[in-house]
Amino acid sequence: MKILVALKQVPDTETKVKVAADGKSLDPADVKWITSPYDEYALEEAIRLKESAQAEVTVVTVGDDKAKDILRNALALGADNAVLLKGDGHGDALAIASLLAAYAKDKGFDLIFAGNKGIGGDNAAVGPMLAELLGVAQANVVLKFEVTGTTFKAEREIEGGTEVVEGNLPVVMTAQKGLNEPRYASLKGIMAAKKKTIEEVEVAGLGAATTWSALTLPPSRPEGRKIEGDAASQAKSLIGLLKDEAKVI
């Protein structure tokens, strides 16, 4: 069985992102980069299948040289092959899905895993678009995934319940938080990953259908206010503020 896992490099959730001077892109200075957390679930699922069903796991990302870090980390966790589709990774979801589809086409992947969304971009679109472009089945926002022979069964999170979908391989599956508990890389894995080769494929002309025209951060929140006095006067002041200032009661 051949599994492809699409990984996206994103700013660490702890990073305080800044908008660049052009007002429509991120300032990359001081950003710590990580694997998008939903992609970690996708990768863990692939590695578990490798362990139970002798699969070969390939990880792929569209990005620049610094994106090799997440590929190296995936190799340390147990991926067999890593591919960098070398571009700046700044196309829209359709452009990224098109590049991934062009890479995956004709390579015989039975399973293609992705995060259900890339944090920061939050389009939740690359996986479904990739399935459409490849003309294969898709199961999105998946909490439980099983493969039996040439078929799959997936439990999906839907509003107020769970939906079970089944179909034939190949399939694109996008992972939801809770699909599994991602592992940490072992020292042995980290050392072995250093010796592995990352395949680099130059990609050009993302052909994005949309571009970022403006990027703004939410307005900063006003400072909190401390209400002094005993409990009764604090409660009285609080009610007054909620009524007259915040106008919520």
Q: In the complex, which residues of this chain contact ligand FAD (CB under 6 A)? A: 6-8, 10, 25-26, 36, 38-39, 61-63, 89-93, 96, 114-115, 117-118, 120-127, 211-212
Nearer to ligand FAD, 66 or 236 (CB): 66
Least distance to ligand FAD from the beta carbon of 82, Å?
12
Q: Are 117 and 38 in contact (CB under 8 A)?
A: yes
Per the listing, tokens 């890389």 go with: 185
Nearer to ligand FAD, 32 or 221 (CB): 32
Q: Is the peptide bond before 170 cis (omega within 30 degrees of 0)?
A: yes
Strand order in the sheet with 137-148: 161-168, 151-158, 137-148, 171-175, 111-115, 2-6, 56-63, 81-86, 198-202
Least distance to ligand FAD from the beta carbon of 64, Å?
10
Nearer to ligand FAD, 80 or 241 (CB): 80
CB-closest chain residue to ligand FAD: 121
Least distance to ligand FAD from the beta carbon of 52, Å?
22
b/e map of 86-125 (b: 16 or more CB within 10 Å)? bbebbbbbbbbbbbbbebbeeeebbbbbbbbbbbeeebbb
Least distance to ligand FAD from the beta carbon of 198, Å?
14
Nearer to ligand FAD, 121 or 167 (CB): 121
Nearer to ligand FAD, 209 or 238 (CB): 209
Nearer to ligand FAD, 125 or 241 (CB): 125
Gap between the Cα atoms of 237 and 249, Å rounded: 13
Question: Exposed, middle or buried, 229 (CB in 10 Å: 0-12/13-18/19+)?
Answer: exposed
Least distance to ligand FAD from the beta carbon of 19, Å?
11
**Crossing angle between the packed helical segments 126-134 and 93-104, to the nearest 10 degrees:** 40
Least distance to ligand FAD from the beta carbon of 157, Å?
16
